[in-house]
Structure 1
Amino acid sequence: MSPAPLLAGLATGLSGGALAGVFGVGGGLVMVPLLGLILGLDQRQAQGATLAAMLLPTGLPAVLEYRRRGIRTSLRLVAILILGFLAGITGGAAVANGIPASALRWGFIAFLLIIAMHTWRRKEPALPDRGAEPLDFSRGAWRYGLPIGALAGVLSGLTGLGGAIVVIPLLAARFRMTQHEAQLTSLAMLLPPIGLPGVLVYARTGSGLPWRVIGGVALGFALGAFLGARVATRLRGARLKQAFAVLAVAMALLLVLRGH
């Protein structure tokens, strides 16, 4: 059997993992377009493969690197986000499987552009000087954390992006987190196999999922996430935000070009 699918998946996972480590997202922003461009997967297969690769705790090296740098989050808030996510992902995946692949791709492009514009324009919150005080994100955890997680789950199932693309800006806005704190929270949320309900929906489609590719993506993602996290902890939040917006536009343009 040709090793090409495994190697292509490895390269794609490395790229997506680096993105996840730097920006705190699940990596689907890069992996979904690249799986289509490099391996010719249709939009639905690329989204399902990305969710499947994230079932393993591939972001753990990045989480440990953030913590080693002294960045902290709330495990209680992470658990609440996960509950909301699980409530939303199956419905999002079911909707995605009922949409034609071309329409799904154009919807994905529009979503990337909206996120890019919002991210570029979003201002970093004015944070108080916490000093040596421990972080406390418990206030409003259920009130805001549950709907944020549910929205992330729906969008994850619908687009294959993992949901972090909306979790990070919403956490920063509602809980006054720094960019790095929001990114760590997002990565921690993705450690359990929370995408499993969505993966099962995608796997039951006629085309199924390319499991050899998925194995390569998972391996590459773990390495890329660790390397990306080392870069992220050395960058200022504003620069991370701007770079993320530019990358989202670039991936949208790649998907547009693929359609011609």
Structure 2
Amino acid sequence: MTFAPGHLLAGLGTGLCGGLLSGLFGVGGGIVMVPLLGLVLHLDQHRAQGATLAAMLLPTGLPAVLQYRSRGIHTSLRLVGVLVLAFLFGIYGGSLVANRIPSEPLRWGYAAFLVLLAFKTFFRHEPAPVDRTLEPLDLSTGLWSAGVPIGLLAGVVSGLTGLGGAVVVIPLLASRFRMTQHEAQLTSLVMLLPPIGLPGVYVYAKAQGGLPWGVIAGVAVGFAVGALGGARVATRIQGVKLKQTYAVIVLLMALLVALRGR
């Protein structure tokens, strides 16, 4: 596509929406950004997914991470390291598969994945509240045996869909390590600080003959601003409300993707 100033503004708006979602729910923001890039800028599914991964290469979630930390919410850097290592292998493989699927089937598969995700999130059993003064976060077991499969699966999903992988990471961390919703979200955001999407961006850029870098720059700036605002709100909202709101937004994005097909 030929770059125009309006594309930068559209990228800023898209990134702002994605950043708000990321800060609120700890996800990469791709759930909003992929559909909007397709709807507003008419990018095909492959380019929209590749552009979203590229926009998240910079540490745009750092303001959100700092906001979580200022509220006394913590995670384990050892666990993050294991997740990132496995993620790098998964995203490369997932991206290779995605770029072998025609755009229309990929888009409908993406929409179907969002619908499934929305229902699983909305009806997921919420674990009992955890008091960290009485029950410290325990990562003494399962760091590698659970961390590697979680990171690998998150990478594959990210490569296939252009999402940041948090849609997999957050519920599995909450289930396996009894993390609170906020702790799992923070862990997901910290994962995104290094350029873990680089293998996927390389595959998408090579397969699609390049990506819209001007749009991507706007998305990255908007994402950083939105993530900070979203994190400030998230730390004041109960986990159950976060989960339900997230599920509704995911379902709306699936509807947008489906409507674009018409």
For the criterion TM > 0.5, the same-fold answer is yes
* 1:88 alignment partner AA: G
Structure 1: give runs of 5+ residues left out of the alignment.
none
Deviations 1:192-227 (A, max 9, x none): 000000000000024420000000000000000000
Separation in 1 of the partners of 2:222 and 2:131? Answer: 38
Amino acid at match of 1:242: Q
* Contact 2:137-2:179 within 8 A present in 1 as well: no
Aligned length: 260
Matches within 5 A, 1:29-48: 29-48=31-50
Contact in 2 for aligned 1:47/1:159 (Cα 8 Å): yes
- SS at structure 2 position matched to 1:192: coil
TM-score of the aligned structures, taking structure 2 as reference length: 0.97
Return 5+ residue gaps in structure 2 as ranges.
none
Which of 2, 13, 16 lines up with 1:14 in the alignment?
16
Quick check: 165-174 or 123-132, which moved more? Answer: 123-132
Query: Deviation per CA, 1:238-257, whole angstroms, max 9, x where unpaired?
Result: 00000010011000000111
- 1:12-66 Cα distance to aligned partner (Å, 9 max, x none): 0000000000000000000000000000000000000000000000000000000
Partner in structure 2 of residue 169 of structure 1: 171
- Could you tell me how far apart the structure 1 residues matched to 2:260 and 2:35 are? 9
Larger mean Cα displacement after TM superposition, 241-250 or 202-211 = 202-211
Distance 2:139 2:63 in 1: 23
Q: Distance in 2 between matches of 1:58 and 1:76?
A: 21
Aligned mates of 1:144, 1:203 — CA distance in 2: 32
Aligned-pair identity (%): 70
CA contact under 8 A between 1:45 and 1:207: conserved in structure 2?
A: no
Regions of 4+ moved over 6 Å: none
Distance in 2 (CA, whole Å) between partners of 1:136 and 1:75 is 13
Q: Could you say which residue in structure 2 is the equivalent of 1:140? A: 142
Q: 2:130–2:180: 8 Å Cα contact kept in structure 1?
A: no
Q: Tell me how far apart the structure 2 counterparts of residues 28 and 128 of structure 1 sit (CA, whole Å).
A: 29
Amino acid of the structure 2 residue aligned with 1:96: A
Q: 1:237 to 1:128 in 2, by over 3 A?
A: closer
Equivalent residue for 2:84, pick from 51, 72, 82: 82
SS for the counterpart of 1:217 is: helix
Report the TM-score, using the length of structure 1 for normalisation: 0.97
1:68 corresponds in structure 2 to: 70
**In the alignment, what sits opposite 2:230?**
228
| Cα RMSD for the two superposed structures | 1.2
Contact 1:9/1:217, CA 8 A, preserved across alignment = yes
Worse-matched range after superposition: 120-129 or 37-46: 120-129
Which residue type is aligned with residue 117 of structure 1?
Answer: F
Distance 2:104 2:172 in 1: 29
Correspondent of 1:195 among 194, 197, 200: 197
Counterpart of 1:38 in structure 2: which amino acid?
A: V
